[in-house]
Amino acid sequence: MNNQLKIWLLGFVLLFSTFVSATPKIENWTTESGLRIYYVHVPELPMLDARFTFAAGSAYDKDKAGISGMVTSMLDKGAAGLNADQIADAFESVGANFSTGSARDMAWINLRTLTLDEQMKPALTMWQKVIEKPDFPETDFERLKKQALVGLQAEKQNPASIADKAFYKNLYGNHPYASPQNGTEETIAAMTSDDLKTFYKQYFVNKNGQLAMVGAISKKQAEAIANSISKAILGGDRGVGNAAPKVPEVKALEKAKVVRIPFPSTQAHITIGQPGDKRGDKDYFSLYLGNHVFGGSGFTSRLMKEVRVKRGLSYSVYSYFIPMQENGPFMLGLQTKLSQTDEAIKVARDELEKFQKDGPTEEEIIASKLNITGGFPLRTASNSDIIGYLAMIGFYGLPLNYLDTFTDTINKITRDEIKDAYKRRLDPSKMLTIIVGGEAKGADKAKEKDATKKTTAEK
């Protein structure tokens, strides 16, 4: 396919997407108690998706690693005197779905319900009780602690988990992003239910949160829901509360570092990277589009063609940026035979240096733009898709027209802008490399030395 045809197809996709799916209109306001509201009216289905998001992820765990995840996992185990079974029955009886989660920057509490009064009112009432008056019952807490400790033990047999934790630890050092999201055996074992209550009281407050709502409710209904739930939080023992402090700035790596972790396997799990970008970053779209060419587009990516197709060094190889409040990581990952470890790393590094120097070709850029913009309407087609974007826009303070301008922004990016961003933001000479698999460097010599000592002693 020649470039002229691809350009024509790109224009067709843009025109088609305009007719297929208009981007949702986002409305935004703040309640009297300081809770920020983001609302999108989607009348096609009688559904409401709501997401409470707080700056309360693992970056705020401090010396109690894993507490953010433990808090969100405990919310439906007991609230307002009701036990876990009663809470589950209350949601299930009206066809509602309750869920929670946490990441490094944020923690969230979700509700999906029908918008008919006989379903939505009881679902919202129970959701409000869980948010307002969680009990953190001791019996359920001890059970979850045991499960968490079993999970941490199991991770020791999973090379991918070992590599991931080692990567964040070595990349971020003393920065809060280094904290393992599911904690450590020491921090989980020492954690108490009072710790959970203190964390919840500090961070799950109006001024530290936002509420996103998407669905077949009017703005008047959305305002009523927002006022009710924000007053409920205000009326509890948490009070108004304050916004959490910003996550500290992430420092760039000063030099290259290689960490080899012994593991009894026939393959090496390899992760290479360094700090990348953050939400709202001026280079975000250039890095995003460039990475789609380099390692983010599956079988058509540069990495896949060079590492797997041409050399057969790995079944899977990929790269991506994880933008967060501060610079999240740029990560390049692959698995390969132990005997091919050094070769695979060299090929991946060489490709990154080549891409940084020369950038993508015009043909690669056109193909990536087609792929990204052509699929974008489908990524905002459902309530669950929109609520994810809405929460992200609100939490990171992105412009309300972010979805409206997404495709235009992507299509305006040039080859020179991608090359410039990659040259400024990545330094191949200062990469962190984690290798999990095989024996530690020098292990064979140590064994040989021990064997010699033993033989001498026997004589």
Q: Is residue 340 part of a domain?
A: yes
Say what the pLDDT of residue 232 is. Answer: 83
Same-domain pairing of 55 and 163:
yes
Same-domain pairing of 340 and 272:
yes
Q: Which of 180, 202, 235 is at the close of a domain?
A: 235
Say what the pLDDT of residue 456 is. Answer: 38
Q: Is residue 12 part of a domain?
A: no
Same-domain pairing of 230 and 261:
no
Same-domain pairing of 182 and 95:
yes
Say what the pLDDT of residue 237 is. Answer: 60
The Cα 216–Cα 431 span in angstroms is: 48
Give which of 54, 102, 73 is closest to 206, Cα–Cα: 54
The Cα 304–Cα 291 span in angstroms is: 12
Q: Is residue 404 part of a domain?
A: yes
Same-domain pairing of 60 and 187:
yes
Say what the pLDDT of residue 380 is. Answer: 86
Same-domain pairing of 199 and 286:
no
Say what the pLDDT of residue 22 is. Answer: 65
CB 98 within 8 A of CB 91: yes
The three-state secondary structure class of 240 is coil
What's the 3-state SS for 163-200? Answer: HHHHHHHHHHCCCHHHCCCCCCHHHHHHCCHHHHHHHH
CATH at residue 67: 3.30.830.10
CB 79 within 8 A of CB 22: no
Give which of 279, 70, 73, 251 is closest to 178, Cα–Cα: 251
**Cα separations in angstroms, 44 against 48, 82, 115, 226:** 11, 35, 12, 22
Same-domain pairing of 176 and 37:
yes
Tally of domains within the chain? 2
Say what the pLDDT of residue 73 is. Answer: 98
Say what the pLDDT of residue 4 is. Answer: 54
| pLDDT tens track, the chain, 459 positions | 455 544 444 444 444 444 344 678 999 999 988 899 999 999 999 999 999 999 999 999 999 999 999 999 999 999 999 999 999 999 999 999 999 999 999 999 999 999 999 999 999 999 999 999 999 999 999 999 999 999 999 999 999 999 999 999 999 999 999 999 999 999 999 999 999 999 999 999 999 999 999 999 999 999 999 999 998 887 556 666 789 999 999 999 999 999 999 999 999 999 999 999 999 999 999 999 999 999 999 999 999 999 999 999 999 999 999 999 999 999 999 999 999 999 999 999 999 999 999 999 999 999 999 999 998 888 888 999 999 999 999 999 999 999 999 999 999 999 999 999 999 999 999 999 999 998 865 444 433 344 334 433 333
Q: Is residue 401 part of a domain?
A: yes
40: Cα within 13 Å, side-chain hemisphere = 30
User: Which pairing describes strands 432-436 and 97-102: parallel, antiparallel, or unpaired?
Assistant: unpaired
Same-domain pairing of 214 and 269:
no
Q: Is residue 369 part of a domain?
A: yes
Same-domain pairing of 266 and 220:
no
Q: Is residue 453 part of a domain?
A: no
Q: Is residue 240 part of a domain?
A: no
Same-domain pairing of 287 and 434:
yes
Say what the pLDDT of residue 448 is. Answer: 37
Q: Is residue 207 part of a domain?
A: yes
Q: Is the pTM of this model over 0.85?
A: yes
Same-domain pairing of 277 and 385:
yes
Same-domain pairing of 41 and 189:
yes
Q: Which of 169, 203, 235 is at the close of a domain?
A: 235
The Cα 14–Cα 9 span in angstroms is: 9
Identify the domain containing residue 188 by its residue range: 24-235
Say what the pLDDT of residue 249 is. Answer: 97
